[in-house]
Amino acid sequence: MSPAASRRWLIGDSLDVAPLLLGCLLQSDVDDVRVTVRLTEVEAYGGPGLDPDSHTFRGKTPRNLVMFGEVGHLYVYFTYGMHWCANVVMHDDGGVGAALLRAGEVVDGVEIARQRRPGSRDRDLARGPARLTRALGIDGRLNGIDLYGPASPIRLIRRPAEAGSVVVTGPRVGVHDPRPWRFSLDHPTVSPYRPAKPRRQG
């Protein structure tokens, strides 16, 4: 399948496409070692209408540029002074949006993931967005890469969730918007829910 055909399933509102990521494989060959994760938790951002919690809410900037670009690319950003988070770009033609990769189960390269996250229990290796990027060796160097490029160090392999698996929905973690744009499987690698920090003078 050509790259153009391979990425086509990512065209659509992030709200609709994000849950399709559940069960898919994210395969990393960063630093010449392979770690593969089966995605168990994602969140949609920049979906239909206004999403105040999306990095794109205030328009195009150098940082969020990738989210406006071609679907199937990786948007990587740095936060809290020490963490990297990764998103898969997905949106309607001419639109903007992405899905934050929040958690996964390491299904290949467990030894490598353990080295990258010493002390973690196996279920915690990619449990949380920053842990996931660390387990896979993802950092700012990989911002904007094409997950369907012929020589891409990171690939997204489409795979349906197991038959009979339940998709859990709920509010996104750490934001004020109550809309249920978080999607997860019923699996121990899913990160715990944490409400947004209350705002001053509500």
Is residue 172 within the footprint of DNA (CB under 7 A)? yes
Q: How far is the CB of 101 from DNA (least distance, A)?
A: 8
Residue of 86, 88, 60, 59 whose CA lies nearest to 73? 88
Is residue 91 within the footprint of DNA (CB under 7 A)? no
Around Cβ 67, how many Cβ atoms within 10 Å? 24
In sequence order, the β-bridge partners of residue 41 are 103, 184
Q: Which residue, 62 or 164, has its beta carbon nearer to DNA?
A: 62
H/E segment holding residue 5: helix 3-6
Is residue 49 within the footprint of DNA (CB under 7 A)? no
- Residues between 113 and 132 that touch DNA (CB under 7 A): 117, 119-120, 124, 128-132
Q: Which two tokens stand for residue 13?
A: 């509102």
Around Cβ 80, how many Cβ atoms within 10 Å? 7
Among 39, 85, 154, 156, which residue sits at the site for DNA (rule: CB under 7 A)?
85
H/E segment holding residue 56: none
Q: Which residue, 49 or 62, has its beta carbon nearer to DNA?
A: 62
Chain-centre distance of CA 1, in angstroms?
A: 23
Positions touching DNA (CB under 7 A) are 43, 45-46, 53-55, 58, 61-64, 67, 75, 77-83, 85, 87, 98, 100, 117, 119-120, 124, 128-132, 172-175, 191, 194, 197, 199-200
